[in-house]
Structure 1
Amino acid sequence: MAEAEAPRVVGIGASAGGIEALRVVLAGLPADFGAAVLVVVHQSDTAPGRLAELLDRRCPLPVAPARDGEPVEPGRVHVAVPGHHLLIEKGTLRVPRGPRENGHRPAVDPLFRSLALHAGTDAVGVVLSGMLDDGAAGLLDVVRHGGTAVVQDPDDAAAPAMPSAALVQVPGALVRAAAGLADLLTALVARPSLQTRRVAGPRLEFEVDVARGERALESEPFGQAAGLSCPDCQGPLYAMGDEHLLRYRCRIGHAWSQESLRAGQDGQIERALDIALRALEEKAALHHRIAGRADGQGASHTARRARETAQDALTSAAVVRDLIASQEDGGTE
């Protein structure tokens, strides 16, 4: 299919609390809906991959897991599968295992960027309920390349962070409660197609290539070393973006918004504290055993030193427990 003949495309991104909103939206679409619908919901690599089956039960349109190389056709819903991004390229689907973005694969930002690059003014990006801010940067690219931004009303969302973050980046987005989104999307895709795309800059093309797994970060192509490490691979991060939206990528290609990076760092700290706590408790247990054995052998000095070491370890473990509790009290997601 020639790129100029590609159908209109609606990309929908959701996370926590977004599946019910997504079901409401899809259930309200007419059977003759004039656009293809591409859906990304955050899922772990080990998820059972039955989301398309679940959504198909209430949607008048056929819903199926996205398959690499499948043509993009109006009136069909393609759902990202666990462990793979979902992209559009010249009228076909791409389902690569590119680097994670904002800690997710599939992620919403790569989908929206591919829509901006390959659908231009015929792209509609939709952000539904979710935590943190995946989708905000990609939605900005959709608008910058002539497409339309739609956001679920944060007051209507089970988790308002993703819609709120999207509105910070695209304050002019069309906002509706989930129950009103299907009618809005139907009206948007009924408009005459312009079949045009604004010239994409090298940054957008680069990031879509990275999502496909085809390019690694070259020598500081779009930013300077940030002095931070990637929570996914511990490699150095490079600042990308502009004064409106600062983001980070490592050389492998993992990408982070500032908010998602903060959450990723919190996760690293929590894991490190868990490891430290386990090591200290195991150290205390070992030295209690040494003390007991030394008592049986009449080695009172060795027993006393072992008990002191065990007590020191337990004291340190209590400090670590307090740190873990403080992390949980200030929870991120």
Structure 2
Amino acid sequence: MSRELSRKRRNIIVIGGSAGSLEPLRRILTDLTPDLDAAIFITQHMGSRHATKLHEILGTDSGLPVLPAEDGGRICEGEVRIAQPDQHLVLDSETVHLTRGPRENQARPAIDPLFRTAAAHHQARVIAVLLSGYLSDGVAGLSAVQKCGGLTIVQDPDAALVRDMPQNALHHVAPDFTGDAGRIAELLNQLAGQHTADPGPVPETILAEARMALGRGLSIPAEDRMGKRSPFACPSCNGNLWEIDDEILRYRCHVGHAYTADALSEAQAGRLDEALWAALRGLRERTELLRRLAREGREAGRGSSVQGFETSAHEIEAQAAVLENFILTRAREQD
């Protein structure tokens, strides 16, 4: 049965994972005590086809009820809530919110918005857990939890199927605890319900980004206060990116897309691939049009223009061959 939260205890647990995190999540939820004095929120990167069943998968052996997160629902102890497909799971002081805000680190739901909003509104009451996955979503969120007095737990990279996220967390943030899934469950059983100190002030940058995650406060002046304008364009909307240099180098645009540096690099690579293929398509279409013009000119007896069309078609076809070879070579090098 769900219970109202005490404001003096560690009773908000937020867990984030990506590739390779399903089995650790199942182990953690299986090992948690059924009377755990905490509300648990989980964001996992997963394709929408499977994510709708995630609460059923994770709830199979759990002693706690595992339910889909619901927009507008109250935060209650004794239950686990799961992020839903294509929606960020974020928290305010009393309420759960599901938003279709801009992607962070190319993900929606993303881990950082959950961790950051939990930190901003619940401070020392938060325990944040980061599990297996690629790149570094969740690392900035862990930092926010620490700055607001919460505790952080990171899966041991050697125990993770995909070590990127845990390894990046260890590199950029000194977590309070590390361990495998069994150890993480033990820690949560021990730490949940502990009394906390009175909360201190929340850093303004964390409050600002929490407001953004809740769909409030997005603006160019807000970004100017958080960081400096970079020379880079947002891969999602082509707007200017602001550089935020704290524990981990990050970027934000004023409509809310956000990237750690490695996620930005990957997003740029994807956009570059799209641009190269579009350029190749354009060259081939241009070649074909010039050849049609040459044929029409020949049939109409306009010999003076035919040679120019044929020469241009031949030159552009050669350019297309060079570009295609570059694209395919680049793709092999990235594999």
Check whether TM > 0.5. Answer: yes
Deviation at 1:316, TM superposition (A): 1.9
Matches within 5 A, 1:1-333: 4=7, 8-43=11-46, 49-189=52-192, 192-194=194-196, 196-219=198-221, 220-242=224-246, 244-291=247-294, 305-331=308-334
Matched AA of 1:198: G
Residue range with higher mean Cα deviation, 149-158 or 17-26: 17-26
Matched AA of 2:114: L
CA distance in 1 between partners of 2:182 and 2:63 (Å): 16
Deviation at 1:49, TM superposition (A): 2.7
- Indicate if the aligned counterparts of 1:3 and 1:90 stay in contact, CA closer than 8 A: no
- Indicate if the aligned counterparts of 2:153 and 2:175 stay in contact, CA closer than 8 A: no
TM-score (norm 1): 0.88
- Indicate if the aligned counterparts of 2:125 and 2:196 stay in contact, CA closer than 8 A: yes
Residue range with higher mean Cα deviation, 273-282 or 41-50: 41-50
Matched AA of 1:159: V
Q: Secondary structure at the match of 2:225?
A: coil
Deviation at 1:222, TM superposition (A): 1.9
- Indicate if the aligned counterparts of 2:93 and 2:121 stay in contact, CA closer than 8 A: yes
Residue range with higher mean Cα deviation, 178-187 or 197-206: 178-187
Q: Secondary structure at the match of 1:94?
A: strand
Deviation at 1:150, TM superposition (A): 0.9
Deviation at 1:235, TM superposition (A): 0.8
Deviation at 1:274, TM superposition (A): 1.4
Distance 1:120 1:46, change over 3 A: same
Q: Secondary structure at the match of 2:19?
A: coil
The Cα offsets for residues 135-163 of structure 1, whole Å up to 9 and x where unpaired, read as 10110111122211111121222221111
Coordinate RMSD, CA, aligned: 2.6
Q: Secondary structure at the match of 1:86?
A: strand
Deviation at 1:294, TM superposition (A): 5.7
Distance 1:143 1:313, change over 3 A: same
The Cα offsets for residues 170-222 of structure 1, whole Å up to 9 and x where unpaired, read as 234422123432223222225x2216322102111111000001111342112
- Indicate if the aligned counterparts of 2:146 and 2:152 stay in contact, CA closer than 8 A: yes
Matched AA of 1:226: S
Q: Secondary structure at the match of 1:37?
A: strand
- Indicate if the aligned counterparts of 1:65 and 1:79 stay in contact, CA closer than 8 A: yes
Deviation at 1:283, TM superposition (A): 2.6
Gapped runs of 5+ residues in structure 1? none
Deviation at 1:239, TM superposition (A): 2.0
